[in-house]
């Protein structure tokens, strides 16, 4: 059983999609339970895999018994072991947390929603575990296509925003596919480790350089690095809230993981960081992404839209940390993948809770919200503090590593951008705290929101609050156990040649 | 000039895919009609499929079945005799993906049309701004 964890992690959600689709036509209440069972098995297998990795350093699984480079191999090491657990945990927690909200928003389409949900998780988990470059493309498209459909189910301008996302996402994925084509042309292999063993002999080749550039361009579009971010804000704003609290934490972060995988495993650090000019210019690109993302976030007037721009700024953190090319920067970037996924989940879940109770998420609607929804807003404070980077939340420690990486690399532009973005985040979130805590809610608003006994208190149902509290506490736990995560896992994920 | 021509002619498959790709990108960037953009996207994906299929090709080689070799499979198998089937097989998957993308994009275009009664981007933009 435990030998087959790498396969189970993908296969169980994939098969469950068919059952959920069937259950959607027969008995809608079953859909949620099938999805929950499937994702629980994935979570269980991913934790099992991480434990195996801690013991044996690496777990390799040959699909159908075909040895690589002919067959597809799934390979889990320290780097993707930890990302895998984060992804599986987030998709499971979000599923449980949004049950009520899905029932409210998709009364007729529950079966379809959960089918897309588990397929999306299949794709994302697959991207993380696979050790085959072409297999990664297929799983990337599974995740993207279901993501488009989930976003398209939203309100207002969702179909148009989703269609724009389709165009940009397809260009990104196609560029990645083209890059893999050139890699195949140069090496004759698609297995990541096999490519890595052949490449050092032909590093001078222009084909390899072209493959590197094209793959990176594709990944940059997919992770919405500025200036390729235009698809993200609209798609995230109009998407249904149960879907976006899944998509926002996972898609972009997993693409950053893929970039790290390509730099460290496929192209090896000596090639990736070979040219100072290249890595420095990518760090500057990240700096621009951080600054522009933060400033644009400042000019937004609704919660989800503001959070979308923060996601763009956070991508800059990770890309910059990766391209610093030193141990502290990479540690920060990998740690931030996990922390950022958790805190994005936390704040987007709160946005979902707010939309569950209120008509909209513009700042005017948030007045007096601490009184109305104390628990949701309490979790929001934890998430916000983590995004700002206040100890002991996880966000503080990853930012600490990123900043010390920037100082070690002598890249002070990146350090200043990080501090600037933290300050902007302080303004962003304390403005919301002020509106929600001090400004009295408009009177007609209250009477609308009062329940039968005339109480103003009206938080989200318990089923939504408990998972949210777990996520909020998890943020603090991640912060407290940072040292364990770094010394037990992340430091082994970075090759020894990087100092 | 002659040099340039030889470069183009000797690597015509790469030029072909680049031209197709640019046609697709041009349509996606410049055209205002959403369906035309979708067609551009399809051309863009097809260009990459074309690239993959062409790199599996070898001169004077045949389909990868042993009995189709130059001497009917009597002698040992020579890789030179057969085209590389792997890129073609990969593209079967990529074609499926591009068909699925096309399906999702067209479904979304229908939703957009039902919402705004138009597929022209500038008309939709002005409708959104009016609200």
A143-154 mean pLDDT: 92
Residue B69 has pLDDT above 80, yes or no: no
**pLDDT of amino acid B110:** 94
Would you tell me how many other CB atoms lie within 10 Å of the CB of residue B17? 22
Mean pLDDT score of chain A, rounded to an integer? Answer: 88
Task: From chain B, pick out residues whose CB is under 8 angstroms from the CB of A181.
Answer: 48, 51-52, 55, 87
* A412-438 vs A374-388: helix crossing angle, rounded to 10: 160
Q: Model confidence at B76, in pLDDT bands (50, 70, 90)?
A: low
> A376: which residues sit within 8 A by CB, 6+ positions away?
A350, A353, A354, A459, A460, A465, A468
pLDDT digits (tens, 9 = 90+) for B95-106: 999 999 999 999
pLDDT above 70: percentage of residues in chain A: 96
State the virtual CA torsion across B121, B125, B128, B131 in degrees, nearest 10.
Answer: -140
Residue A5 in this model has a pLDDT that exceeds 50: yes
- pLDDT level of residue A452 (50, 70, 90 thresholds): very low
* Domain spanning B2-130, CATH class: mainly alpha
Q: Which are the contacts of A447, defined by CB distance < 8 A and separation ≥ 6?
A: none
The minimum CA-CA distance between B74 and chain A, rounded to whole Å, is 26
Question: Could you count the other beta carbons within 10 Å of the beta carbon of residue A421?
Answer: 28
In a domain, A351, yes or no: yes
Confirm whether A451 is domain-assigned: yes
**Other CB atoms within 10 A of residue A132 CB:** 25
pLDDT grade for B71, boundaries at 50, 70 and 90: low
Residue A324 has pLDDT above 60, yes or no: yes
Q: What is the pLDDT of residue B4?
A: 80
Note the pLDDT of residue B56: 83
| B42 → chain A, closest CA residue | A170
Interface of A with B (CB under 8 A): 134, 137-138, 141, 145, 148-149, 152, 157, 159-160, 162-163, 166-167, 170-171, 174, 177-178, 181, 184-185
At residue A436, the pLDDT reads: 84
How sure is the predictor about A435, in pLDDT bands with cuts at 50, 70 and 90? confident
* pLDDT over 60 at A451, yes or no: no
Cα–Cα distance measured from residue A492 to residue B15, given in angstroms and rounded to the nearest whole number: 44
Q: How confident is the model at residue A450 (pLDDT cuts 50, 70, 90)?
A: low
Res. B70: pLDDT tops 70: no
What is the DSSP secondary-structure string of A273-326? TS-HHHHHHHHHHHHHHHHHHHHHHHT--BHHHHHHHHHHHHHHHHHHHHHH-S
- Chain A residues with CB inside 8 Å of B93's CB? 134, 138
Residue A330 lies inside a defined structural domain of this protein: yes
Cβ atoms of A93 and A468 within 8 Å: the answer is no
Task: Indicate whether A230 pLDDT > 90.
Answer: no
The confidence score (pLDDT) of residue A342 equals 92
A138, A163, A171 ranked by CB distance to B112: nearest: A163
CA–CA min distance B7, chain A (Å): 16
pLDDT over 80 (residue A459): no
With an 8 Å Cβ cutoff, are B108 and A141 in contact? Answer: no
pLDDT tens track for A60-82: 899 888 888 888 899 999 999 99
Q: Given CB atoms, is B30 within the 8 Å cutoff of chain A?
A: no
Residue A129 has pLDDT above 60, yes or no: yes
Chain B's closest residue to A139, CA to CA, is: B97
**According to the model, what pLDDT value does residue A253 have?**
93
CB B101 to CB A138 under 8 A?
A: no
pLDDT in the model for residue A453: 46
CA-angle at B56, arms to B55 and B57, nearest 5°: 90
Show residues of chain A in contact with B115, CB under 8 Å. Answer: 159-160
Q: What mean pLDDT do residues A144-167 have?
A: 91
Is residue A172, in this structure, part of any structural domain at all? no
The parent domain of residue A406 ranges over 284-499
CB-count exposure of residue B84 (10 Å: 0-12, 13-18, 19+):
middle
ipTM of this predicted structure: 0.91
List the single range of A67-71, A114-118, A119-123, A278-282 with lowest mean pLDDT. Answer: A67-71
Mean pLDDT, range A10-23, rounded to an integer:
92
Write the pLDDT tens digit of every residue in B28-64.
999 999 999 999 999 999 999 999 988 888 887 778 7
The answer to whether the Cβ–Cβ distance between B41 and A170 falls below 8 Å is yes
pLDDT given at position B73? 57
Chain B residues near residue A149 by CB distance under 8 angstroms: 104
> How far away is chain A from the Cα of B73, in angstroms, using its nearest Cα?
23
Contact at CB, A170 and B34, closer than 8 angstroms: no
pLDDT at A447 over 60: no
**C-beta neighbour count of A18 within 10 angstroms:** 12
Q: How close B84 comes to chain A (CA, Å)? A: 10
Cβ of B101 within 8 Å of Cβ of A171? The answer is no
- What pLDDT was estimated at residue A86? 93
**What's the CA gap between A11 and A42, in Å, rounded?**
9
Total count of domains within chain A = 1
pLDDT for position A456: 61
Does A448 score more than 60 pLDDT?
Answer: no
CA distance A145 to chain B (A): 7
Q: What is the pLDDT of residue A496?
A: 81
Give the C-alpha distances (Å, rounded to integers) separating B5 from A308, B8, B10, B50, B51.
49, 5, 8, 22, 20
CA distance A294 to A64: 47
Classified as helix, coil or strand, A390 is: coil
Match 């040895």 to its residue by tokens: A67
**CB-CB contact of A379 with A472 (8 Å):** yes
pLDDT tops 60 at residue A446: no
> pLDDT value at position B75?
64
Residue B128 — very low, low, confident or very high, per pLDDT cuts 50/70/90?
confident
pTM assigned to the model: 0.92
């Amino acid at each position: 059983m435990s030998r087959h964890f790498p396969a189970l992690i993908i296969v169980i959600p994939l098969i469950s999609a068919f059952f959920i689709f069937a259950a959607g036509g027969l008995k809608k209440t079953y859909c949620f339970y099938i999805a929950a069972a499937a994702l629980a098995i994935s979570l269980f297998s991913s934790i099992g895999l991480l434990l195996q990795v801690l013991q044996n350093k690496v777990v390799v699984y040959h699909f159908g018994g075909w040895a690589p480079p002919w067959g597809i191999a799934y390979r889990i090491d320290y780097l993707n072991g930890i990302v895998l657990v984060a992804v599986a945990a987030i998709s499971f927690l979000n599923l449980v947390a949004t049950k009520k909200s899905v029932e409210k928003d998709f009364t007729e389409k529950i079966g379809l929603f959960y089918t897309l949900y588990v397929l999306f998780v299949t794709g994302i988990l697959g991207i993380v575990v696979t050790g085959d470059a072409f297999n990664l493309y297929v799983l990337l498209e599974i995740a993207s296509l279901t993501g488009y459909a989930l976003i398209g189910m939203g309100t207002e301008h969702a179909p148009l925003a989703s269609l724009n996302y389709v165009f940009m996402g397809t260009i990104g994925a196609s560029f990645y596919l083209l890059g893999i084509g050139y890699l195949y042309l140069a090496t004759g292999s698609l297995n990541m480790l096999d490519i890595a063993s052949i490449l050092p002999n032909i590093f001078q080749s222009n084909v390899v350089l072209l493959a590197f550039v094209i793959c990176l361009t594709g990944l940059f579009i997919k992770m919405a690095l500025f200036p390729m971010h235009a698809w993200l804000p609209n798609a995230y704003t109009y998407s249904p809230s149960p879907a976006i609290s899944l998509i926002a934490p996972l898609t972009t972060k997993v693409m950053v993981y893929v970039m790290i995988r390509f730099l460290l495993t496929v192209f090896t650090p000596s090639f990736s960081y070979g040219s100072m000019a290249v890595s420095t210019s990518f760090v500057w690109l990240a700096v621009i992404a951080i600054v522009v993302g933060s400033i644009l976030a400042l000019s937004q007037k609704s919660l989800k839209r503001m959070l979308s721009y923060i996601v763009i700024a956070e991508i800059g953190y990770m890309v910059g940390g990766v391209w610093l090319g030193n141990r502290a920067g990479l540690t920060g970037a990998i740690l931030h993948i996990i922390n950022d996924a958790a805190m994005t989940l936390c704040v987007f879940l709160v946005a979902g809770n707010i939309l569950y109770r209120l008509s909209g998420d513009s700042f005017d609607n948030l007045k007096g919200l601490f009184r109305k929804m104390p628990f949701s807003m309490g979790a929001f404070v934890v998430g916000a503090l983590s995004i700002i980077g206040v100890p002991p939340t996880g966000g503080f420690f990853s930012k600490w590593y990123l900043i010390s990486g920037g100082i070690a690399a002598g890249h002070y532009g990146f350090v200043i951008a990080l501090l600037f973005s933290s300050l902007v985040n302080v303004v962003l979130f304390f403005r919301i705290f002020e509106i929600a805590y001090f400004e009295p809610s408009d009177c007609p608003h209250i009477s609308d929101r009062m329940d039968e006994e005339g109480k103003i208190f009206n938080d989200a149902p318990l089923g939504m609050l408990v998972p949210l509290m777990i996520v909020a506490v998890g943020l603090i736990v991640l912060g407290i156990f940072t040292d364990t995560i770094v010394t037990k896992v992340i430091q082994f994920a970075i090759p020894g040649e990087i100092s | 000039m002659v040099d340039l021509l030889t470069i183009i002619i000797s690597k015509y498959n790469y030029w072909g895919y680049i031209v197709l790709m640019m046609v697709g990108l041009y349509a996606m960037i410049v055209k205002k009609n959403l369906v035309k953009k979708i067609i551009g996207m399809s051309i863009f994906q097809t260009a990459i499929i074309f690239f993959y299929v062409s790199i599996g090709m070898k001169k004077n080689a045949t389909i990868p079945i042993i009995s189709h070799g130059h001497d009917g499979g009597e002698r040992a198998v020579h890789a030179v005799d057969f085209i590389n089937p792997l890129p073609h097989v990969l593209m079967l998957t990529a074609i499926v993906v591009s068909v699925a993308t096309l399906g999702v994009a067209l479904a979304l275009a229908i939703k957009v049309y039902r919402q705004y009664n138009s597929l022209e981007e500038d008309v939709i933009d002005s409708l959104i701004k009016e609200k």
